[in-house]
Amino acid sequence: MKLAVISCIHGNYEALNAVLSDIDDRKADQIYCLGDLVGYGPHPNAVVEMIRSLDIPTCQGCWDEDIVEGLNACECSYPSQLAEQRGRVAHEWTNNTIHPEVREYLATLPMTLRLDNLCFVHGSPNSQHEYLLPSMDGFAALERILSTDADVLFCGHTHVPYVRNLEDGTLTVRVQQPGKDELETQFETPLKQIVNAGSVGEPRHGRPNATYVLYDTDTAQVELREVPYDYELTCAAIIAKGLPPIFAWRLARGMEFAERADDPSHVCQR
Amino acid sequence: MQWAILSGIEGNLAAYEAVLQDIRRQRNPVADLYIIGDVVGLKGDNEATIERVRSPRSGELEPQVCIGWWEEQCFSLHGLSGLPDAPELMAQFGGDGVKHLWKSVSRESVGWLRSLHFGFHELDCLLIHGSTVSYADELTPDTPAIQLCDRLIRADANTLFCGRSGLTFECWVTPGKLRSTVTTLDGKQEPQEQGKTPRRVVGVGSVGRIPGQATYTLYNPGSDRVTFNTVSYS
């Protein structure tokens, strides 16, 4: 079965349409979505309606959670005061724009989805806010996959797609306890994989094209997809709707500069 | 010179006094005294214990104290953090436990407990009640190896001293090989080397949890040696 996994659409209807057309062309059997349907972008309601109408299994992203729960994360949400100001403007705008039934739908989204040996999350199995960056320590990354009991962990949140193979992992643990013999055990792991789906609506890999992934469950092959679309339409709508123009600027360049997280491994303790 | 690391007094003042006495008797003097959470609990007189911890006698070490599971339950009961009405406490100790804790720790003392640290980074060690994941994270010798490894990576320390389990143990975790390959839209990246330094999780024991038998930990930063002490008291 061929799966298409999309993430981080962020109210970008133009990008979503282009990606859905590409998925059609590639003849995927099933689409999974890793959340962040809203935030930053100008068309949150249309994006949610599209996802719902296609009955796409979707997990809750951090922006979806913030719209449901309110902005009550700890100070981790934004790396700078400037970023916080702009993020709050986008949050308020989205919060005022979305329809009640859209908010209700976002509240129903699960944290994780499963399909056989595959697990789907937004950020990490711990939190929608945790970034699984490709540079993360391999054993820490392995722990995130093993905690789900899956072989392949699909995530988004970083907006940059990648595939990470972790294989032949070994750990030795030596335990000393008063009154007991010393015990040494060795722990080995088979191949595990993290697949980051990138971002449909707010890519940050250095080009403005939308990104997503295809996964073949029979061959375990992953294909990172990059889809051109008319991003200028979205940029114009961002400005027309009164969202911070920096969102249009970075969308046109496919890059993130001001809002790179200082401590991407931080887990928000709401 | 060495450190004494205590956890889990749980209001048991007699046990704390016994441990203080044992610390005074050490041939190798103790230069630093850490209490990594659970000063209060259901094992005795919480107010008297807090007073004793806050006001060491002349010539005694000033304890460095951080927050534990029981302190977090106080904060929850007083609406200062986490979920209201201490659901974790309720689930584990029922309504009587909730009532007892509410009555036995004054608002003023809760204010002091709230001012304590979440943990201490000292040299290449982290001293914390649970782990950086949570005050409730209970690490034991049976915790899966990958989880211990993860907690050490998150702690950014070579030795993680913790107290949630109440057990005394030393778990050395040595990462071996791990092949990590990353492919992006720009192609395959250079393989990454993972850290292979052996690191350890140390359970420091519990002063007050088991009546008549207190356990605590001595650590010599010069030799990197950990010693577990058991003190009997009546």
Inter-chain CB proximity B182 and A162 less than 8 Å: yes
Q: Do A139 and B149 touch (CB under 8 A)?
A: yes
Q: Which domain holds residue B116?
A: 2-232
Nearest to B146 among A162, A171, A265 (CB): A171
Cross-chain CB nearest to A171 (options B173, B184, B185)? B173
pLDDT on residue A258: 47
Chain A residue whose CA is closest to B156: A137
Residue A184 token pair: 């040494």
Whether residues B146 and A170 touch (CB distance < 8 A) is answered with no
Q: Coil, helix or strand for A123?
A: coil
A163-195 b/e (C-beta count within 10 Å ≥ 16 → b): bbebbebebebebbbeeeeeeeeebebeebbbb
pLDDT, tens digit, 9 for 90 and up, residues A86-135 = 888 888 999 999 999 999 999 999 999 999 999 999 999 988 888 999 99
**Domain edges within chain A:** 2-165+192-253
The residue of chain A nearest to residue B140, with distances taken between CA atoms, is A175
Chain A residues within 8 A of B170 when measuring between CB atoms: 175-177
Closest-CA distance of chain B to residue A22, Å? 17
Which residue from A minimizes the CA distance to B167?
A: A177
Predicted pLDDT of residue A74 = 53
**A177 vs B176: CB contact, 8 Å cut-off?**
no
Q: Do A176 and B169 touch (CB under 8 A)?
A: yes
Mean confidence (pLDDT) of chain B? 94
Q: How far apart are CA A210 and CA A227, in angstroms?
A: 5
Q: Round to whole Å and give the CA distance between A57 and A33.
A: 6
If you measure CA to CA, which chain B residue comes closest to A141? B150
Nearest CA in chain B to A139: B150
Structure tokens at A71: 């902005």
Task: Give the span between the Cα atoms of B100 and A187, in whole angstroms.
Answer: 44
What is the predicted pLDDT for the residue at A270? 46
CATH architecture of the domain with residue range A2-165+192-253:
4-Layer Sandwich (3.60)
Closest Cβ–Cβ partner in A138, A167, A187 for B194: A138
- Residue in B76, B137, B146 to test binding to A, most A beta-carbons within 10 Å: B146
Q: Using the predicted structure, report yes or no on whether residue B79 has a pLDDT greater than 80.
A: yes
What gap in Å lies between CA B9 and CA A64, rounded to an integer? Answer: 43
**CATH number of the domain that B177 lies in?**
3.60.21.10
Cβ of A165 and B150 within 8 Å?
Answer: no
Kindly determine whether residue A143 and residue B149, on different chains, have CB atoms separated by under 8 Å.
Answer: yes
Asked if A173 and B228 come within 8 Å (Cβ–Cβ), the reply is: no
**Chain A partners of B176 at a C-beta cutoff of 8 Å?**
169-172, 186
pLDDT (tens place) for every residue of chain A, 270 residues total = 999 999 999 999 999 999 999 999 999 999 999 999 999 999 999 999 999 999 999 999 999 998 887 776 555 555 566 777 788 888 899 999 999 999 999 999 999 999 999 999 999 998 888 899 999 999 999 999 999 999 999 999 999 999 999 998 899 999 999 999 999 999 998 899 999 999 999 999 999 999 999 999 999 999 999 999 999 999 999 999 999 898 999 999 998 754 555 555 555 454
Q: Do A160 and B153 touch (CB under 8 A)?
A: no
Residues B143-198 have pLDDT tens digits of 999 999 999 999 989 999 999 999 999 999 999 889 999 999 999 988 877 778 89
- Name chain B contacts of A173, Cβ cutoff 8 Å: 145, 148, 171-174
Q: Considering only CA atoms, which of A120, A114, A139 is closest in space to residue A213? A: A120
- The pLDDT, as a whole number, for residue A72 is 62
Q: What is the pLDDT of residues B90-143, one digit of tens each?
A: 999 999 999 999 999 999 999 999 999 999 999 999 999 999 889 999 999 999
Helix, strand or coil for residue A44? helix
For B52-118, the DSSP string reads: HHHSPPTTS---EEE--HHHHHHHHHTTSSSSTT-HHHHHHHHHHHHHHHHHHS-HHHHHHHHTSBS
Give the whole-angstrom CA distance, residue A20 versus residue A26: 10
Minimal Cα–Cα distance from A165 to chain B, Å?
5
Task: Please state the domain count of chain B.
Answer: 1
Helices (H), B78-231: 87-104, 107-114, 145-155
CA distance B229 to chain A (A): 9
Specify the 3-state DSSP secondary structure of B214: strand
| Cβ-based contacts of A179 with chain B (< 8 Å) | none
CB contact under 8 A, A177 and B180: no
Interface residues of B toward A, Cβ cutoff 8 Å, are 133, 141, 144-150, 153-154, 167-185, 189, 192, 194-195, 228, 230
Full-model pTM: 0.86
Nearest CA in chain A to B174: A172
Inter-chain contact A173–B179, Cβ cutoff 8 Å?
no
Q: Tell me which residues of chain A have a C-beta less than 8 Å from any C-beta of chain B.
A: 126, 134-135, 137-143, 146-147, 160-178, 183, 185-187, 189, 205, 211, 224, 226, 265, 267
Do residue A137 and residue B194 have CB atoms under 8 angstroms apart?
A: yes
